[in-house]
Amino acid sequence: MTHKRQALVTGANKGLGLAISKGLASAGLSVWMGGRDRSRGEDAVQVLRAEGLDVRFIQIDVADDASVRRAAGTVGQEIDALGVLVNNAGIVLDQASRPSELSMDEIKATYEVNLFGPIRVTQAFAPLLKAADDARIVNMSSSLGSLTLITDPTSLSSTINFLAYSSSKVALNAVTVSFAKEFEPFGIKVNSVEPGNVRTDLNGNTGSLTPERGAETAIKMALIDKDGPTGSFFGNYGRQPW
């Protein structure tokens, strides 16, 4: 077993997840880069390894119970504790659909990845997180997950109406609070992060921020010290409203 601080990032083969993985590895962590597609995941790993970073691929489909259990078992055979978990994997399927026209299949698929995914991954890796004594969990949320912002007419977020995506992120913020309460006695800090309008495949690469800029808050919250916050919601400009 290695004693180097370990991190797991889901959805790590591109975009925001890749930038978060690079940032954590650059900070000295050994990073497990999680993804569904082994070929794309291994390609991403090679890119960061070429820069001298300590990363490796772990196959994980956050929407599949068996895949998550298998990944947890594989990682558990290699390490004795997990210091950082970033639940980054996410999808959006309703950019072009009115809420009244969105299919239940699309809603369920969104929730499987965006909400149930972070829950099942956190539950599966909980023993390794508890073993670290001071682990950090970062759930990648969105400004569309803030009921305050999506109902504030002065906020850009109020102009966007994605039923499945937005509601999944609202629920994810509630999940963050629940896990923060449970894990606080173990020294585990759990926070939600909204990265801003990042250029990723989720928005057709139309965002105003680079993945590297979007990753900054997630990396910061993954590395907070023992006096840092838990059960809170943060963005690039500080604490965000629920």
3-state secondary structure of 125: helix
Does residue 175 lie in a domain region? yes
Give the pLDDT band of residue 152 (cuts 50, 70, 90): very high
Look up the pTM and report it.
0.95
Residue 220: the pLDDT is 97
Residue 133: the pLDDT is 87
Residue 201: the pLDDT is 64
Say yes or no to pLDDT of 1 above 60.
no
Residue 215: the pLDDT is 94
- The enclosing H or E element of 234 equals strand 233-235
Output the six-digit token pair for 16.
């925001």
Does residue 57 lie in a domain region? yes
Mean pLDDT of the chain: 95
Contact (CB, 8 A) for 155 and 149: yes
Number of folded domains that form the chain: 1
Residue 205: the pLDDT is 61
Question: In 159-238, where does DSSP find H-type helix?
Answer: 163-183, 211-222
Distance CA 135, CA 129 (A): 6
Task: Give the model confidence (pLDDT) of 104-148 as tens digits.
Answer: 999 999 999 999 999 999 999 999 999 998 999 999 999 999 999
| Domain containing residue 234: CATH number | 3.40.50.720
Does residue 1 lie in a domain region? no
Determine the Cα angle at 38 with ends 32 and 43, to 5°. 75
Does residue 89 lie in a domain region? yes
Residue 169: the pLDDT is 98
Task: Give the model confidence (pLDDT) of 153-211 as tens digits.
Answer: 999 999 999 999 999 999 999 999 999 999 999 999 999 999 988 866 665 666 678 88
Output the six-digit token pair for 210.
């680079």
Does residue 97 lie in a domain region? yes
Residue 187: the pLDDT is 97
Residue 198: the pLDDT is 82
Q: Which residues form the domain of 202? A: 6-239
Which residues on neighbouring strands pair with residue 196, listed in sequence order?
none
Average pLDDT over residues 232-239: 95
Does residue 164 lie in a domain region? yes
Indicate which residues carry an active-site annotation.
165
Does residue 92 lie in a domain region? yes
Does residue 11 lie in a domain region? yes
